[in-house]
C-alpha cells in the first residue's frame, strides 16, 4: 500500500498527461509557455479570485507575498507553531520576526483567540510592529477565516492564507485560496493538487498586488525581463509542470469526492480507537492528510505497519521547538496544545485512487 499513490493517479491520466507534455515538447516554450497562462486563468476561476500568479514553489509563493507587503526588519508576523518549517522560515528570511501561535485542539489550525492575545501582547511591548498574519490550512481543512479576517481588520494587519494543504477545501462555499489579502499554494507532488516536481501559485483580488508579484517573480521586471525596476527573484513555473497540472485540475473535483468518501469510511471505522479529525459545520476538507490523535502513537503506528499500512507524522517538531528559532526563547508551556499534538498525531494513507 502507498501512503500517497501518485502512480495510480498517473495511470488514470496517462494518455492526457502524455499528450499535454508532447504538445510542450513540440512548441518548445519550456519557461512561461502558453500552458502557464492557461493554468493561471483556470486556477483563478476555480478559486474564485481575479488573479493567479504561478511561481517555482510554495515557499517562494510565501516569500513573494511578504515582498508584496514590504515586510522586513522590525516587523512581527504571526504564524502557527504547528506547521511546516517554510511558514516561519520565510518570515525570518525577510528579516522579520515570527510570532508563534498555539493550535485549536479540535482543528489543529491556528487558534484565533490566542492569535488576538499575541497581537495585543506585541502591541503592548512596542518592540516590534505587528504587520501580518500567515494562517495555514492544515491537513486539508481551511483555518477559521471568519474570525481571523475580523482580527486582521481590527488591528490593520495583512492576512496571508497558506492554502498548500487546504487547496480544494472551502468554508460555506468559498474555496481555499480565496481568503485574506493574498493566498498561496504549493504544487509539491504530495499536495492535494500536485505536479511532478516543484511549483506554486499566489492568489489575490488586488490588481496592484498581482502586477507587483508578476514583476517580483521575474527579477523585478518592468516592460520586459531586461528592464528591471525593482529587486526581485527568479521564480517561474515550468511549462511542463503547468501542462501536467491542467490535466490534474480537470479531475480534481472527482478526486476530492473520493477523498471525502474515504475520510468518512476512516471516521466510521476508527472513531472508537482514536480521536478522528474534526470538520466544523460549513467547512469542507481536501484531506491533504487524514490525521488522528493517539495517546500511544508509537504502538498504534507499529500495529498498522504490521498490517502493511504505512503511516507518517506531521509534525513531530513545532516551530517554537526548532533549533533555528531557539533564540526566540519560546517554551512548550507557551504552546500546550501544539506541543501535545506533536507527540500524539499521525496520518494514514490518503489519496483519490485508494481502493
pLDDT digits (tens, 9 = 90+) for 74-83: 999 999 999 9
Residues in the chain: 355
Same domain, 305 and 268: yes
242, 271: one domain: no
Burial class of 310 by CB neighbour count within 10 A (0 to 12, 13 to 18, 19+):
middle
User: What is the Cβ-side half-sphere exposure of residue 59, based on CA atoms within 13 angstroms?
Assistant: 13
Q: Residues 35, 20: contact at Cβ < 8 Å?
A: yes
**pLDDT score, position 86:** 97
Inside any domain, residue 10: yes
Closest CA to 202 of 32, 62, 46, 48: 62
Which domain CATH number covers 257?
3.90.1150.10
C-alpha cell at 296: 500511544
Q: Which of 203, 224, 247 is the last residue of a domain?
A: 247
Asked if residue 322 is part of any domain, the answer here is yes
The whole-chain average pLDDT of the chain stands at 97
Cα(208)–Cα(243) distance, integer angstroms? 27
Contact criterion met (CB below 8 Å) for 199 and 244:
no
Together in a domain, 37 and 142: yes
Give pLDDT tens digits for 227-275.
999 999 999 999 999 999 999 999 999 999 999 999 999 999 999 999 9
Q: Are 17 and 165 part of one and the same domain?
A: yes
CB 54 within 8 A of CB 218: no
- Residue 281 half-sphere exposure, CB side, CA atoms within 13 Å? 0
Residue 69 CB-density burial (10 A; 0-12 exposed, 13-18 middle, 19+ buried): buried
Provide the number of structural domains found in the chain. 2
Q: Say what the pLDDT of residue 261 is.
A: 97
Q: Express each pLDDT in 108-153 by its tens digit.
A: 999 999 999 999 999 999 999 999 999 999 999 999 999 999 999 9
326 lies in some domain: yes
How far apart (Å, rounded) are the C-alpha atoms in residues 132 and 88?
12
Residue 309 has pLDDT above 90, yes or no: yes
**Do 191 and 327 reside in the same domain of the chain?**
no
Would residue 354 count as lying in a domain? no
pLDDT over 90 percentage in the chain = 98
Instruction: Note whether 150 and 63 are same-domain residues.
Output: yes
Q: What is the model's pTM?
A: 0.96
Question: Same domain for 204 and 334?
Answer: no
279 and 343 together in one domain? yes
pLDDT value at position 67?
98
The answer to whether residue 225 is domain-embedded is yes
Nearest residue to 241 (alpha-carbon basis) of 52, 44, 30: 30
Q: Note the pLDDT tens digit of each residue in 26-56.
A: 999 999 999 999 999 999 999 999 999 999 9
**Boundary-marking domain end, from 230, 247, 264:** 247
Same domain, 209 and 306: no
Cell output for 333 = 508551556
Supply the pLDDT for residue 224.
Answer: 85
Q: How far apart are CA 10 and CA 195, in angstroms?
A: 11
On whether residue 353 sits in a domain, the answer given is: no
Q: Assign 3-class secondary structure to the chain.
A: CCCCCHHHHHHHHHHHHHHHHHHHHHHCCCECCHHHHHHHHHHHHHHCCCEEEEECCHHHHHHHHHHHCCCCCCEEEEEECCCCCHHHHHHHHCCCEEEEECECCCCCCECHHHHHHHHHHHHHHCCCEEEEEEEECHHHCCCCHHHHHHHHHHCCCEEEEECCCCCCCEECCEECCCCCCEEEEECCCCCCCCCCCCCEEEEECCHHHHHHHHHHCECCECCCCCCECCCCCECCCEHHHHHHHHHHHHHHHHHHHHHHHHHHHHHHHHCCCCECCCCCCCEECCCCCEEEECCCHHHHHHHHHHCCCCCECCCCCCHHHCHHHHHHCCCHHHCHHHHHHHHHEEEECCCCCCC
Residue 97 domain flag? yes
Residue 1 located in a structural domain: no
Distance in angstroms (rounded) separating the CA atoms of residues 247 and 201: 17
- Identify whether residues 229 and 175 lie together within a single domain: yes
225 band by pLDDT with thresholds 50, 70 and 90: confident
Joined together, the cell numbers standing for residue 226 give 531586461
Which pLDDT does position 246 carry in this prediction? 98
Residues spanned by the domain of 113 = 6-101+108-247
Both 218 and 256 in one domain: the answer is no
- Distance, in Å, from the CA atom of 69 to the CA atom of 208, rounded to the nearest integer, reads 11
Radius of gyration, alpha carbons of the chain = 20
CATH number for the domain that contains residue 182: 3.40.640.10
Average pLDDT value for residue range 278-300? 98
Q: Is the pLDDT of residue 355 over 90?
A: no
Where a domain ends, among 247, 282, 314? Answer: 247
Residue 196 pLDDT exceeds 90: yes
Same domain for 55 and 146, yes or no, is: yes
Amino acid at each position: 500500500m502507498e501512503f500517497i499513490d501518485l502512480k495510480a493517479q498517473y495511470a488514470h491520466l496517462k494518455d492526457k498527461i502524455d499528450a499535454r507534455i508532447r504538445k510542450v515538447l513540440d512548441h518548445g516554450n519550456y519557461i512561461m509557455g502558453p500552458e502557464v497562462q492557461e493554468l493561471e486563468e483556470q486556477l483563478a476561476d476555480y478559486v474564485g479570485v481575479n488573479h493567479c500568479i504561478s511561481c517555482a514553489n510554495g515557499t517562494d509563493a510565501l516569500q513573494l507575498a511578504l515582498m508584496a507587503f514590504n515586510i522586513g526588519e522590525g516587523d512581527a508576523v504571526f504564524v502557527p507553531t504547528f506547521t511546516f518549517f517554510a511558514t516561519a522560515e520565510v518570515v525570518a528570511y525577510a528579516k522579520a520576526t515570527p510570532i508563534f501561535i498555539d493550535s485549536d485542539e479540535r482543528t489543529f489550525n491556528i487558534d484565533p483567540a490566542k492569535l488576538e492575545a499575541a497581537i495585543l501582547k506585541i502591541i503592548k511591548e512596542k518592540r516590534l510592529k505587528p504587520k501580518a498574519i500567515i494562517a495555514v490550512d492544515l491537513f486539508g481543512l481551511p483555518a477559521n477565516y471568519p474570525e481571523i479576517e475580523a482580527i486582521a481588520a481590527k488591528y490593520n494587519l495583512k492576512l496571508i492564507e497558506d492554502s498548500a494543504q487546504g487547496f480544494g477545501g472551502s468554508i460555506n462555499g468559498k474555496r481555499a485560496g480565496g481568503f485574506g489579502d493574498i493566498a498561496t499554494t504549493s504544487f509539491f507532488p504530495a499536495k492535494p493538487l500536485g505536479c511532478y516536481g516543484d511549483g506554486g501559485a499566489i492568489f489575490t483580488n488586488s490588481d496592484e498586488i498581482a502586477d507587483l508579484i508578476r514583476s517580483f517573480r521575474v527579477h523585478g521586471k518592468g516592460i520586459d525581463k531586461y528592464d528591471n525596476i525593482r529587486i526581485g527573484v527568479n521564480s517561474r513555473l515550468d511549462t511542463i509542470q503547468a501542462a501536467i497540472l491542467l490535466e490534474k485540475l480537470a479531475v480534481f473535483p472527482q478526486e476530492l469526492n473520493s477523498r471525502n468518501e474515504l475520510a468518512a469510511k476512516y471516521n466510521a471505522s476508527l472513531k472508537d480507537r482514536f480521536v478522528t479529525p474534526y470538520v466544523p459545520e460549513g467547512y469542507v476538507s481536501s484531506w491533504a492528510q487524514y490525521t488522528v490523535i493517539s495517546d500511544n502513537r508509537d504502538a498504534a503506528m507499529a500495529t498498522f505497519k504490521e498490517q502493511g499500512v504505512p503511516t507518517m507524522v506531521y509534525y513531530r517538531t513545532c516551530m517554537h521547538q526548532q533549533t533555528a528559532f531557539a533564540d526566540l526563547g519560546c517554551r512548550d508551556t507557551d504552546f500546550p496544545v501544539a506541543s501535545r499534538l506533536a507527540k500524539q498525531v499521525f496520518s494514514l494513507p490518503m489519496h483519490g485512487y485508494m481502493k
